């Protein structure tokens, strides 16, 4: 996710659940790309705005120490000189978060936000929501998103069910046609091949199609699907569907 602030500074945030090879190099490349894409040919370097990359990981990205938060800049460590602040990379490792800390102010607020991201327990989330108005707002939004996700999953499940029923209807339709063809061939030998095929095909087609639509409608009614949707899906009339409901 990239955020452009009013002062044109760009904040790039990403959350990584599983480690990937050359993660540090990938983050450096991504930050450099966000810098380079800011200017077009012919523009000057003064057009470049500061880029801050924030990487939150659910694994240990830096194994050389136990610090959960690192800040990387274009910095000469030996002479303690900053080349430029045009790029900055923050790594936040959830597995290194301290269970308790004596931190206060901004550091404690950062820890609370990271705990909220990491937490899977409802009690802890509710407790963190009481910390600040911003965290309370975030938790409320998270609940709404979770509800929306559940709604989306129910909708997709119903949509798949409708598609399955349509497939069953088509199968019944095809079986009816096959049966009609077979009966037509048998009757055709006795009463005339052409007449028997036509009659058997028509009867089998109609019978198989009708049975498939009725069976699908019954299944959808059992699932609580509205008669209006069933009518559109099955091709049956509202009157036919009402009859099935009685």
3-state secondary structure of 41: coil
The pLDDT tens digits for 19-46 are 877 889 999 999 999 998 888 888 888 8
Contact status, residue 91 vs residue 63, Cβ threshold 8 Å: no
Highest mean pLDDT, choosing among 60-64, 142-146, 204-208: 60-64
- Mean pLDDT (the chain) is 79
Token pair belonging to 66:
């136990």
Average pLDDT (109-117) is 88
The pLDDT tens digits for 133-179 are 888 888 887 777 676 766 666 666 666 667 666 776 777 767 666 66
Please state, in angstroms and rounded to a whole number, the distance separating the CA atoms of residues 185 and 189.
Answer: 6
pTM for the full model?
0.57
- Determine the pLDDT at residue 7: 87
Token pair belonging to 24:
């540090």
3-state secondary structure of 97: coil
Angle at 221 between CA 218 and CA 227, to 5 degrees: 110
- Determine the pLDDT at residue 87: 95
Average pLDDT (195-221) is 63
Query: 181 vs 175, which has greater pLDDT?
Result: 175
Q: Residue 207's CB: how many other CB atoms inside 10 A?
A: 17
Please state, in angstroms and rounded to a whole number, the distance separating the CA atoms of residues 179 and 32.
Answer: 67
Highest mean pLDDT, choosing among 83-92, 103-112, 114-123, 203-212: 83-92
- Determine the pLDDT at residue 54: 95
Going by their DSSP bridges, the two strands 10-16 and 69-76 should be labelled as unpaired
Q: What contacts 176, CB < 8 A, 6 or more positions away?
A: 204, 205, 206, 207, 208, 209, 211, 212
Number of helices (H) and strands (E), helices first, in the chain?
7, 5
- Determine the pLDDT at residue 85: 93
DSSP annotation of 96? G
Please choose, from the candidates 60, 84, 61, 65, the residue with its C-alpha nearest in 3D space to the C-alpha of residue 74: 84
Token pair belonging to 199:
């009659």
- Determine the pLDDT at residue 128: 87
The pLDDT tens digits for 82-99 are 999 999 999 999 999 987
């Amino acid at each position: 996710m990239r955020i452009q602030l009013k002062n044109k500074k760009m904040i790039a945030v990403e959350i990584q659940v599983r480690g990937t090879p050359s993660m540090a190099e990938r983050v450096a490349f991504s930050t450099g790309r966000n810098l380079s894409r800011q200017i077009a040919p012919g523009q000057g370097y003064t057009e470049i705005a500061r880029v801050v990359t924030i990487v939150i990981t659910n694994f240990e990205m830096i194994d050389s120490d136990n610090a959960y938060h690192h800040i990387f800049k274009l910095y000469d460590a030996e002479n303690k000189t900053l080349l430029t602040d045009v790029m900055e990379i923050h790594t936040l490792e959830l597995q290194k978060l301290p269970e308790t800390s004596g931190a206060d102010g901004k550091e404690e607020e950062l820890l609370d936000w990271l705990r909220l991201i990491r937490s899977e327990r409802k009690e802890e989330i509710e407790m963190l929501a009481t910390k600040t108005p911003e965290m309370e707002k975030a938790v409320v939004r998270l609940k709404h998103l979770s509800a929306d996700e559940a709604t989306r999953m129910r909708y997709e499940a119903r949509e798949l069910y409708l598609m399955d029923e349509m497939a069953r209807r088509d199968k019944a339709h095809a079986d009816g046609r096959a049966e009609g063809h077979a009966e037509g061939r048998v009757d055709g030998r006795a009463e005339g091949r052409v007449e028997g095929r036509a009659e058997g095909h028509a009867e089998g087609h109609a019978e198989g199609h009708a049975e498939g639509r009725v069976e699908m409608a019954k299944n959808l009614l059992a699932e609580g699907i509205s008669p209006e949707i069933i009518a559109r899906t099955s091709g049956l009339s509202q009157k036919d569907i009402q009859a099935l409901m009685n």
